[in-house]
């Protein structure tokens, strides 16, 4: 009887090891999302990769990457790219993103970036993270056809300037 338990245990262990060594191939959609995503090389010095995730976002497929400032991990920049089946679904999702993230923010004088394609829907607003603080929390949302990009960041102008942030937004994709 003891020998049977050992055999069963060995079989289970072999199955577990075999299944954990298999690699899952990335779908073409996931590959496209990662190509559009922000990379560490797109950021000024001092930023490091923190986290990534794939999620369903308001009916689309999304990929989020988060970066933190090496010297102060409370400062971050998170970017999500979401792809929708068509423009109508993306327009509906854009409204949902707007409703969720732009309730308490307001237009900011230095937040002047606008997309190259002026037909794109976009919004760029900020607020002070805490009253009396120099730390800003900003959200940028853009819809281009069936793709939505969303950036959420917390920074002050010693860490990241609006000029640098605009450069990040205008980087070439992929």
- Which residues neighbour 108 within 8 Å (Cβ) at sequence distance 6 or greater? 124, 125, 126, 136, 138
126/74 Cα distance (integer angstroms)? 17
Quick one: pLDDT band at residue 21, thresholds 50, 70, 90?
very low
Measure Cα distances from 74 to 30, 79, 135, 164, 172 in Å. 28, 16, 10, 19, 27
Superfamily of domain 28-169 in CATH is PknH-like extracellular domain (3.40.1000.70)
- Dihedral pair phi/psi, residue 44, rounded to 5°: -60, 165
Higher pLDDT, 169 or 142: 142
Q: What's the CA gap between 126 and 138, in Å, rounded?
A: 4
Query: What pLDDT is attached to residue 172?
Result: 60
Is residue 12 scored above 90 in pLDDT?
A: no
In angstroms, rounded to a whole number, what is the distance separating the alpha carbons of residues 65 and 50?
A: 8
Which of 64, 48, 130, 136 is closest to 97 using CA atoms?
64
Q: Looking at residue 173, what is its pLDDT? A: 54
Cα–Cα distance between 154 and 135 in angstroms, integer? 7
Q: Where are the beta strands (DSSP E) in the chain?
A: 47-57, 60-69, 72-83, 106-107, 121-128, 136-144, 147-155
Query: Predicted confidence band at 15 (pLDDT cuts at 50, 70, 90)?
Result: very low
pLDDT at 117: 87
Q: pLDDT tens, 52-104?
A: 999 999 999 999 999 999 988 889 999 999 999 999 999 999 999 999 999 88
Residue whose entry in the numeric block shows the structure tokens 């009916």: 59
Q: What is the DSSP-derived secondary structure letter of residue 46?
A: T
Q: pLDDT tens-digit profile of 96-113?
A: 999 999 988 888 888 888
């Amino acid at each position: 009887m003891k020998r049977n338990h050992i055999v069963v245990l060995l079989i289970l262990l072999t199955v577990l090891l075999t299944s954990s060594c298999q690699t899952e191939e990335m779908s073409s959609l996931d590959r496209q999302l990662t190509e559009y995503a922000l990379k560490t090389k797109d950021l000024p010095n001092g930023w490091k990769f923190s986290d990534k995730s794939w999620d369903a976002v308001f009916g689309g497929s999304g990929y989020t990457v988060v970066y933190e400032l090496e010297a102060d991990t409370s400062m971050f920049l998170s970017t999500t790219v979401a792809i929708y089946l068509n423009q109508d679904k993306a327009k509906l999702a854009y409204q949902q993103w707007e409703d969720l993230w732009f309730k308490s923010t307001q237009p900011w004088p230095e937040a002047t970036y606008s997309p190259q394609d002026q037909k794109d829907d976009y919004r760029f607003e900020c607020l002070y993270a805490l009253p009396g603080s120099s730390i800003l929390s900003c959200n940028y949302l853009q819809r281009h056809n069936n793709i939505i990009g969303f950036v959420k960041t917390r920074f002050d102008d010693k860490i990241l300037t609006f000029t640098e942030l605009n450069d990040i937004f205008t980087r070439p994709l992929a």
